[in-house]
Structure 1
Amino acid sequence: MTTQLGGATPLPVPSAGPPPRGRRRSRRPVWEEPPTPLGLFGKGTVLTLLVLAVLVPLWTVLVTSFASRRTIDEVGGMVLVPREIDPSAYLTIFSGGEVSRAVWISTVVTVLGTGVSLTLTVLAAYGLSRPGSVAHRGLLFFFLLTFLIFPGLVPSYLVVTGLGLKDSIWSLILPSAISVFNLVVIRAFFMNVPGELIDSARIDGAGELRILTRVVLPLSKAVVAVVGLFYAVGYWNVYFNALLYIDSNDKFPIQRVLQSYILAGQSPNVSGTPVNLPGVTAYPPTLAVKMAVVVVTVVPALIVYPFVQRHFTKGVITGAIKG
């Protein structure tokens, strides 16, 4: 096949021939090659072992909390295979007393603390995300400095005591009201909000608070939900601050009560009349009551997590990479 341009000599054009013979190469890159059967088996085995390492202890705790005294005595400790279902441990701890009061204290601390922490963190992150804000660089450096320098346990204790927060639920909230990590994550997300939206809102006469609540926050629901989960789990699991600042037994959160049962070896102190139902033990075994407290401690986080898990990639990883 030839082609001719004007009066020039026609030039030969190579025609498409058959592909060269030989071994046909795969069109997939090396990193996209399908895994071998041995690799699939190895990955499946490792993942299965990891899942079992998490589920078996949880299953054992759950089964033991519903075990009867006879089953625990026969096994000699923790129960793996359920035999008899005896809910007397849960009926006992929720019939009034220390555990029920501790669950209520933890719930109040979690709800109140999460609201306070989210409010302070969002306000601080929005102010630090605006380049023209007052003392922007100085305040940002002050917050980031806490990553490197921690004041210490004794100064923190003296500050809490000096402010009159000792033996108060506020001592479980205010010392950890703002997490610098969460502040940096939300600030990075706020900085990626289009500036045109904020400028148009200012032209329409909106103030900073209205811009934050009507423009920025609706675009940042994912990161706020994830950070809210971080704060809620932290307040629900608060233990060390309760050990330092809470002296009254009637103000112990659930983690402090759990510590006294599991680690200190104290017997559960529950009130109310003995359980008197058909097929239910009147006085449940101590081990079943302890495991029931563990279940009550873990279940709220397991219930809330699936509703927020879908926001993790968008809320934290994306925001951190963009920032």
Structure 2
Amino acid sequence: MSQTDTPREGRLRTINGAALPSHPVRAAKGIVLFLCCAVVVLPFLAVVSTSLAQEPQINAAGGYVLWPDDPSLDAYRAIFAGGIVTRALMVSVGITLVGSALSIVCITLLAYSLSRPGTFAHKPILLTVLFTMLFSPGMIPMYLTIKQLGLLNSYWSLILPGLVTAFQVVIVRAFFLDIPPELIDAARIDGAGELQILTRIVLPLSKAVVAVIGLFNAVAYWNAFFNALLYMQDASKWPLQLVLRTYVVDEATMDVDPNVVGDFIPAPQSLQMAVLVVSIVPIALIYPFLQKHFAKGIYIGAIKG
């Protein structure tokens, strides 16, 4: 009996020749995974719950609530009725859309030209791009450059400094180098120009890496606040992240319209957490649709150098 059971037991404990971990090891891995998920989920849950909670419950809980007893959207109505958050949200959306689109265009064009042998000044330009990965200009020279260009207090000061990133150019160039050259040669024989080759052959095969750099730049533009802190003196042009910093980090008092919220004014913690939720949700909604391209875009782009 034992002779017939032993091979079957061995088959059950292996998958494609790899031994399965024991039950205690699998249980330990499950516990560790649960704790990691809890570390990520609980702070976000506390932020959302506090934005929906009433002031007495927030005071009783010491500032943060994990589950509101009487959820209310008063904090969200208050921040959107004030006008500051709504205006800052529109500024951030505009900067993110315009900046991400221009970044994709500039990075794609530069990476494609550097991936084609024989282009004008191919090696000097590539060395210049790689040089910027090692040395950055610094805050003061960048501020003086923006000032000399007359971009202070302009939305372009929030877009142009981060328009092209050398690391992303290297990734996209490596991805383009991995495309079979026979496809490009065949298109060139058929009379296609470089722009047609890029738009009709290269880009359709590079959707993964384009999605990755698009999301990277979108997150960078959406979360950026330091450039706005340096270059934007007009508070009406502040992006959402700088408004968030003003109310959450600096703990500035938010003006609330009594015609919207009535006599009951939401707690300051609820207003702060509501602004924080508004700043998180847009990127959190976009990320799941592009997350599948992350591994493919990074790994394939790293095959060739």
Q: Shorter-chain TM-score: which interval?
A: over 0.9
- Contact 1:106/1:236 (8 A) holds in 2: yes
**What are the ranges of 5 or more consecutive residues in structure 1 without an aligned counterpart?**
1-22
- 1:256-267 matches, within 5 Å, as 256-267=242-253
Letter in 1 for 2:277: V
- 1:1-323 matches, within 5 Å, as 32-271=18-257, 273-276=259-262, 282-323=264-305
Runs of 4+ with deviation above 4 angstroms:
26-31
Letter in 1 for 2:96: T
- Contact 2:54/2:68 (8 A) holds in 1: no
Distance 1:132 1:98, change over 3 A: same
Letter in 2 for 1:184: V
Distance 1:274 1:77, change over 3 A: same
Distance 1:69 1:123, change over 3 A: same
Provide the identity percentage. Answer: 47
TM-score normalized by the length of structure 2: 0.92
* Residues 91-100 or 49-58, more deviating: 91-100
d(CA) in 1 for partners of 2:114, 2:199: 16
Letter in 2 for 1:77: G
| Structure with greater helix percent | 2
Report the CA distance between 1:222 and its aligned residue.
1.0
Distance 1:144 1:129, change over 3 A: same
d(CA) in 2 for partners of 1:272, 1:167: 32
Query: Which residue does 2:3 correspond to in 1?
Result: none
Report the CA distance between 1:231 and its aligned residue.
0.5
Letter in 2 for 1:248: D
Distance 1:294 1:31, change over 3 A: farther
- Contact 1:274/1:282 (8 A) holds in 2: no
Report the CA distance between 1:60 and its aligned residue.
0.2
Distance 1:269 1:170, change over 3 A: farther
Report the CA distance between 1:314 and its aligned residue.
1.3
* Residues 149-158 or 291-300, more deviating: 149-158
Distance 1:166 1:76, change over 3 A: same
Query: Which residue does 1:20 correspond to in 2?
Result: none
d(CA) in 2 for partners of 1:31, 1:298: 44
* Residues 121-130 or 32-41, more deviating: 32-41
Distance 1:96 1:272, change over 3 A: farther
Report the CA distance between 1:240 and its aligned residue.
1.0
d(CA) in 1 for partners of 2:83, 2:264: 17
Report the CA distance between 1:207 and its aligned residue.
1.0
Distance 1:132 1:270, change over 3 A: farther
**What are the ranges of 5 or more consecutive residues in structure 2 without an aligned counterpart?**
1-5
Distance 1:73 1:141, change over 3 A: same
Report the CA distance between 1:29 and its aligned residue.
10
d(CA) in 1 for partners of 2:128, 2:81: 49
